Amino acid sequence: MTRVRVTAPHTGQGLPGQRAAGPVESRETAQDSDVGQVFVRSLIRSQLRLALVVAAGFLLILAAFPLLLVLAPGLAETGIAGVPFGWLLLGVGIYPVIGLSAWLYVRTAARNEARYRDLAGEQ
């Protein structure tokens, strides 16, 4: 594991560029060129798009849960082992959806970064 020691920033110190040079600094200066900035912008765009798509997908599923109970009222009363379906859906069923969304996001975000690294490394 890399151990990155940083010093406490002091009030009045604005830009990160003014901080003590460290390993983090090199990755910014390397991207100062116009081409570098194009790569960075495209990375930010793809990460934002990914985050928005995952968030929208999750919220759609979340909204579908109560709608399902409204549209199929019989469903709310039936249940497994005495626990009504409505409780199972919101109390248990939503958590795997959250976990799956998170896992998909982490995998794809790392992939976006790997692609950026390949592009920026070739430069």
Partner 1 sequence: MTWPGNNEPPRSGEPVSAGVAMAAVAVVTVATVVIGFHGLRISRTTSDFYVASRTVRPWWNASAIGGEYLSAASFLGVAGLILLSGTDALWFPVGYTAGYLMLLLFVAAPLRRSGAYTIPDFTEARLASPAVRRVTSLAVVTVGWLYIVPQLHGAALTVRIATGLPSWVGSVAVVVVVCLTVVAGGMRSITFVQAFQYWLKLTALAVPILFIIFVLAGNGAAPLAPPAANPTGASPAGPYQNVSLLVALLFGTLGLPHVLVRFYTNPDGHSARRTTLIVLGLLSVFYLFPTAYGLVARVFAPGLARAGQADAMVLLLPGRLLGGVAGDLLSALVVAGAFAAFLSTTSGLVVSLAGVISQDVLGGSVRGFRLAAVAAVVVPLGFAFMTDSLALAGSVGLVFAFTASTVCPVLLLGIWWRGLTDAGAIAGMLTGGLLCGGAMVVGAVAGTGQTPPWLAQPAAWTVPTAFAVMVIVSRATAHRVPAGMPRMMTRLHTPERPLATER
Contacts with partner 1, residue ranges (CB under 8 A):
1-12, 14-17, 19, 23-24, 27-28, 31-32, 36-37, 40, 43-44, 47-48, 51, 54-55, 58, 62, 76, 82-84, 86-87, 90-92, 94-96, 98-99, 101-103, 105-106, 109-110, 113-114, 116-117, 120
* Distance of closest approach, residue 122 Cβ to partner 1, in angstroms: 15
Helix (H, G, I), strand (E, B) or coil at 84: strand
Single-letter code of the amino acid located at 120:
A
Q: Which residues pair with 79 in a beta bridge?
A: 84
| CA pseudo-torsion sign 95, 96, 102, 105 | negative
Kindly report the length of the chain: 123
Q: What whole-number distance in Å separates Cα of residue 117 and Cα of residue 106?
A: 16
Nearer to partner 1 among residue 44 and residue 64 (C-beta)? 44
* Distance of closest approach, residue 64 Cβ to partner 1, in angstroms: 13
- H-run or E-run covering 79: strand 79-80
* Distance of closest approach, residue 105 Cβ to partner 1, in angstroms: 6
* Distance of closest approach, residue 72 Cβ to partner 1, in angstroms: 15
